Amino acid sequence: MSFSSCLDRFVSNNAEQDIFNSNSESQEFPSLRFVVQDNSPVQLGHGEEQLGGRVNFQPHDFFELQPVHDASAFLLRQILHNHNNEDSIKIIRALVPALEKCGPATPVLISDIILPEYGTVTRFEERLLRQIDLCMMVGFGSKQRSRQDWAKLFNDADPRFQIVNAQINPLGIGLLQVHLMS
Ligand SMILES: C[S@@+](CC[C@H](N)C(=O)[O-])C[C@H]1O[C@@H](n2cnc3c(N)ncnc32)[C@H](O)[C@@H]1O
């Protein structure tokens, strides 16, 4: 997806890496506006010190309804991988009324690990990703998800969701482009 052609308001859940990304993108694409949301005042305060004025920082609990209704994209970066399916569905559903207002062109971008299917990557790559999967299970009762798992999660949240693009990265974080079809 080309930021410059598609986006002018980019809403991102949360924190330092997103602030860094928003800063780089905001310099490269001066017409873009960014909203970085987090429920932690510490995280938001840190961003404001670095970038005040260039990016908006908004306190928001992602279990509550999304307050921005004119976004060109919503980015959830490493937000769902440490939540189990039940909570992830609540987080996704909290976006639905805003997505209905934004229209079907507004994607939900999931920047997270997309587990490759067994045997499709090297053993080294698979071991790395499966280790993270185990850590998520032990630490948070959650999991890394394959494309199929992501598709089921979004379908369970709302059957109108469709994954239209998936960039699988065998060494780490990939990207899913998901749209709420009308
Ligand atoms: C795993 S970090 C990901 C941070 C960032 N997106 C990144 O990729 O570096 C999870 C973030 O979610 C925030 N968070 C946790 N619970 C939240 C909630 N209920 N609503 C909004 N943000 C929350 C935390 O403060 C933290 O910044």
Q: What is the pLDDT of residues 24-40, one digit of tens each?
A: 665 676 667 788 888 88
Look up residue 83 and give its DSSP letter.
Answer: S
Distances in Å between the Cα of 22 and the Cα atoms of 29, 142, 152 are 10, 27, 30
Name which of 73, 98, 57 is nearest 8 in CA terms: 73
Digit-coded pLDDT (tens) for 114-162: 999 888 899 988 888 889 989 999 999 998 999 999 999 999 999 999 9
- 41: how many CB neighbours lie within 10 A of its CB? 11
| Pocket-forming residues, ligand 1, beta carbon under 6 Å | 13-18, 38-40, 43, 60-63, 77-79, 82
Q: Average pLDDT of the chain? A: 85
Average pLDDT, stretch 173-179? 96
Strand ranges for 86-144 from DSSP E: 107-115
- Distance (angstroms) between ligand 1 centre and the Cα of 76 equals 9
Looking at per-residue pLDDT, the higher value among 101 and 3 belongs to 101
pLDDT at 8 over 60: no
Report how far apart the first and last C-alpha atoms of the chain are (Å, whole number). 21
**Residue to mutate (ligand 1; options 14, 78, 92, 173; most atoms within 8 A of CB):** 14
Quote the strand ranges of 46-149, DSSP E.
Answer: 56-59, 73-77, 107-115, 145-146
- Rounded to the nearest angstrom, the distance between the alpha carbon of 63 and the centre of ligand 1 is 11
What domains can be seen in the chain, in order of their start residue?
3-180 (3.40.50.150)
Amino acid 175: pLDDT: 96
Active site residue 83: no
Measured in angstroms, how far is the CA atom of residue 14 from the centroid of ligand 1? 5
Q: Pick the closest to residue 77 from 9, 147, 14, 161 (CA basis).
A: 14
According to DSSP, the residues that pair with 108 across neighbouring strands are 74, 178
Q: Which candidate, 13, 131, 40, 180, places its Cα nearest to that of 22? A: 13
Residue of 13, 64, 76 to test ligand 1 pocket, by largest number of atoms within 8 Å of CB: 13
CA-only gyration radius of the chain, Å: 16
What pLDDT score was predicted for residue 48? 61
pTM here is 0.86
